[in-house]
């Protein structure tokens, strides 16, 4: 069942006919598929069904029995934390259709890459409120484009409030897994993310040890800094290739592959409680796209006393290993539950997914 508490009808993030940020969502644990053990983290909400990083996407994820919702965190010009996949927003908002912001299109170097578009740090929150979200993958998810223009860009505070006032199918408070995006970059322009993030969590009453929060980053230094600032859990994200940007700019030669070694994982365990592996690190693909046998990554992380979270699991064929695809058409739906069962059988403790309903079903069947 759900309970609606729309106490802020004038909320500028809202839109007529859509839930406000203060809506309470309670799922009846007797009717939902709730008795699962591996943690299901809704990647940018239920982003396989709604434009990502919108309150509608998060609300749907909660109704689908996700344990945790995941917001990516960036900053505005006036240092308000908002929720977007990247600080460049042309692919996730209708900013290009706003002629009043045409002169803000620019090119920047973000983590060593040249990126052209519109950037959150060049807008105040009030200006971002005039934009609306659009589907980031319209060719793969055409059904989601029907929701283009309906939802505003939420602040982190609004997502935290939604989680704090919601209960999952297990009856627990819904967790939140904020990811700090490009923390070194934001620090370099005078908009550091860490203190603001901790302040937002504190205001939401989510900074105690045991709070249903886990902060993520692909960088290492900001997680080490956060370890001195908060008692909530931290997760070091590890990609299949490349290196943390903060290590690169510091001249540190370590790569993600180095962090994935037994010694690297022991180092991570000195400041984080979990490691978030790109799924290919745990079980690689063959040249033909077929899923191979697991590496030692999960066992090595567990030996270092780290929880293992995998990313990112999606239902479209283009994201699936060969044996779980339904056809050669990239956007058609394959067997996500089958892929997830392979990773759960390998010992993965939780995962990020765009399709939390299918994630819950896979866990329940494993």
SS3 call for 157? helix
Residue with tokens 């999952």: 168
Domain assignment present for residue 20? The answer is no
Q: What is the pLDDT of residues 46-98, one digit of tens each?
A: 999 999 999 999 999 999 999 999 999 999 999 999 999 999 999 999 999 99
Q: Of 116 and 14, which is predicted with more confidence? A: 116
| Residue 7 reports pLDDT greater than 50 | no
Q: C-alpha dihedral over 359, 164, 268, 319, to 10 degrees?
A: 30
Domain assignment present for residue 326? The answer is yes
Q: Which residues contact 2 (CB under 8 A, 6 or more apart)?
A: 24, 25, 26, 27, 63
Q: What is the pLDDT of residue 22?
A: 37
Q: What is the pLDDT of residues 154-180, one digit of tens each?
A: 999 999 999 999 999 999 999 999 999
Tally of structural domains, the chain: 1
Q: What is the pLDDT of residue 37?
A: 86
Domain assignment present for residue 133? The answer is yes
| Residue 127 reports pLDDT greater than 80 | yes
Domain that holds residue 316: 39-365
Domain assignment present for residue 19? The answer is no
Domain assignment present for residue 315? The answer is yes
Q: What is the pLDDT of residue 366?
A: 73
Query: Is the CB of residue 354 less than 8 Å from the CB of residue 313?
Result: yes
Q: What is the pLDDT of residues 15-38, one digit of tens each?
A: 333 443 334 444 443 334 444 589
SS3 call for 105? coil
Q: What is the pLDDT of residue 166?
A: 96
- Residue 138: how many CB atoms within 10 A of its CB? 14
| Residue 11 reports pLDDT greater than 60 | no
Domain assignment present for residue 15? The answer is no
Residue with tokens 């005039």: 130
Structure tokens at 26: 């309670």
Q: What is the pLDDT of residue 20?
A: 39
Active site residues: 43, 85
User: Distances from the Cα of 303 to the Cαs of 10, 263, 266, 298, in angstroms?
Assistant: 51, 11, 9, 9
Q: What is the pLDDT of residue 36?
A: 58
CATH number at residue 198: 3.20.20.190
Domain assignment present for residue 31? The answer is no
Q: What is the pLDDT of residue 25?
A: 42
Region 323-337: what's the mean pLDDT?
Answer: 98
SS3 annotation, 183-231:
HHHHHHCCCCCHHHHHHHHHHCCCCCCCCCEEEEECCCHHHHHHHCCCC
Domain assignment present for residue 355? The answer is yes
């Amino acid at each position: 069942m759900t309970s609606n508490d729309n106490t802020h009808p004038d909320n500028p993030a809202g839109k007529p006919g859509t839930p406000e940020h203060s809506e309470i969502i309670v799922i009846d644990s007797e009717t939902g598929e709730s008795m699962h053990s591996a943690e299901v983290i809704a990647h940018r909400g239920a982003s396989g069904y709604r434009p990502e990083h919108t309150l509608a996407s998060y609300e749907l994820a909660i109704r689908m029995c996700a344990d945790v919702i995941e917001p990516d965190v960036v900053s505005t010009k006036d240092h308000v934390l908002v929720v977007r996949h990247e600080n460049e927003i042309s692919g996730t908002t209708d900013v290009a259709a706003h002629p009043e912001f045409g002169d803000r299109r620019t090119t920047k170097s973000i983590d060593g890459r040249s990126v052209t578009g519109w950037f959150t740090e060049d807008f105040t929150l009030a200006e971002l409120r005039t934009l609306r979200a659009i589907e980031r993958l319209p060719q793969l998810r055409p059904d989601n484009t029907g929701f283009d223009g309906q939802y505003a860009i939420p602040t982190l505070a609004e997502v935290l409030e939604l989680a704090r006032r919601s209960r999952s199918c297990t009856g627990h408070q819904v967790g939140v897994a904020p990811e700090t995006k490009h923390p070194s970059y934001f620090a370099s322009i005078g908009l550091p993310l860490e203190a603001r993030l901790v302040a937002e969590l504190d205001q939401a009453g989510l900074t105690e040890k045991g709070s249903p929060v886990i902060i993520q980053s692909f960088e290492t230094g900001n997680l080490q800094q956060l370890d001195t600032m908060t008692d909530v859990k931290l997760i070091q994200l590890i990609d299949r290739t490349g290196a943390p940007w903060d290590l690169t700019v510091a001249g540190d030669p370590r790569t993600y592959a180095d962090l994935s070694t037994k010694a690297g994982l022991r180092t991570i365990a000195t400041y984080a409680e979990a490691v978030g592996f790109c799924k290919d690190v745990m079980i690689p693909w063959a040249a033909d796209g077929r899923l191979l046998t697991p590496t030692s990554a999960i066992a090595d992380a567990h030996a270092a006393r780290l929880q293992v979270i995998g990313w990112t699991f999606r239902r479209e064929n283009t994201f699936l290993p060969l044996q779980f695809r339904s056809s050669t058409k990239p956007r058609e739906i394959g067997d996500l539950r089958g892929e997830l069962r392979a990773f759960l059988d390998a010992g993965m403790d939780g995962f990020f997914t765009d399709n939390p309903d299918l994630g819950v079903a896979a866990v329940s069947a494993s």
